[in-house]
Amino acid sequence: MKRILITGGAGFIGSHLCEKLINDNNDVICLDNFFTGSKDNIRHLIGNNKFELVRHDVINEYLAEVDQIYNLACPASPIHYQYNPIKTIKTSVMGIINMLGLAKRCKARILQASTSEVYGDPKIHPQVESYWGNVNPIGIRSCYDEGKRCAETLMMDYYRQNQVDIRIARIFNTYGPRMAVNDGRVVSNFIVQALKNEPITVYGDGSQTRAFCYVSDMVDALIKMMNNENNFIGPVNLGNPLEFSILDFAKLIIKLTNSKSKIVFEPLPSDDPVQREPNISLAKEKLNWEPKIDIEEGLRSTIEYFKNII
Ligand code: NAD
Ligand code: UDP
């Protein structure tokens, strides 16, 4: 049994991580400011004596005695992270400084939820961890991309300078139940639009690609990365390598929901990455992990979730 702090624990991935770690008999502190997360995501855990909920903003210092820290606090959807870009970059940078300070003081192990966005609009495909990326430092996605890149830098500097026990996980597009209905990401948008028989909004011509990982696979990967004892600090890509064009993905959602929705094309937001697919060889080799949930199976359970809440 460990004492585990999860920042962003009331969010989409964080809530599944809280649940799994409690089921594995750990004590969990879920810290969140509820910007994009919700009490509904963790309501079923409130009252469990292994679960503690703390309303707190990671840009401010937080003190506790813990063995492990998963730092997930940060809005992940472009619409939400662009809503207040200054706050987004503060959350990534000041948040990780505060959490690394806590890890140093407690001698806790800390895992940073980094992102495929550190590769920006990648020029090599599929993306490998050794690629340094192609990031616009002054664009509308920079508050997120550069914040996450700076957080990786701080992780490495605390590791080299203070021997903090770190793990860096680069998460690729993840989906599943508890994504927010209004969060603007492609999976939730398309499913909600399809269930309401409203137009499916494909940005650009839909030729841009993404690869989607089901949330239970991602949670398993994060826990394996945190607990690997080979001193493998990463960065490691975590995601499902099955790549779709966004247009094909829209057609798949229409098929799985039996929807009458028509596809409409809307302007492509600036700096939208053209092609994204993780190379997960390192995760397979070092963590003995690969995703298990088939895309149609994962989407069906996500569709059921949205059917129940909209
Ligand atoms: P989410 O928006 O559902 O969760 C983020 C959580 O962090 C929310 O509960 C939010 O309220 C909380 N939060 C935001 N700012 C905070 C602050 N200043 N202080 C305290 N809490 C704060 O997003 P998610 O999809 O669950 O993503 C979780 C993490 O994984 C994020 O760090 C994100 O960057 C990373 N990630 C996610 C994906 C994905 O596809 N879901 C991909 C790459 C990286
Ligand atoms: N997208 C889209 N329609 C939507 C939402 C998103 O075509 O209603 C596209 C978006 O332009 C991007 C991809 O789907 O190319 C994935 O977008 P998302 O916001 O989910 O995440 P990203 O991977 O861009 O961070």
Task: Please provide the distance, in angstroms rounded to a whole number, between the alpha carbons at the two ends of the chain.
Answer: 38
**C-alpha separations of 32 from 82, 181, 224 in Å:** 19, 19, 23
212 alpha carbon, closest ligand:
1
Residue by residue, pLDDT tens for the chain (310 residues) are: 999 999 999 999 999 999 999 999 999 999 999 999 999 999 999 999 999 999 999 999 999 999 999 999 999 999 999 999 999 999 999 999 999 999 999 999 999 999 999 999 999 999 999 999 999 999 999 999 999 999 999 999 999 999 999 999 999 999 999 999 998 999 999 999 999 999 999 999 999 999 999 999 999 999 999 999 899 999 999 999 999 999 999 999 999 999 999 999 999 999 999 999 999 999 999 999 999 999 999 999 999 999 999 9
Domain borders along the chain are 3-176+213-239+277-291
CATH homologous superfamily for 3-176+213-239+277-291? NAD(P)-binding Rossmann-like Domain (3.40.50.720)
Contact present, 225 and 169 (Cβ < 8 Å): yes
Strand partners, 62: none
Pocket of ligand 2, candidates 148, 183, 191, 246: which has the most ligand atoms within 8 Å of its Cβ, to mutate? 246
Atom index in ligand 1 nearest the CA of residue 57 equals: 19
Nearest CA to ligand 1 atom 28: 72
Atom index in ligand 1 nearest the CA of residue 13 equals: 26
- d(CA 116, CA 12) in angstroms, rounded, equals 17
* Packing angle, helices 186-195 and 246-257, rounded to 10: 40
42 SS3 class: helix
28 SS3 class: strand
Residues serving a catalytic function are 144
The DSSP call for residue 278 is B
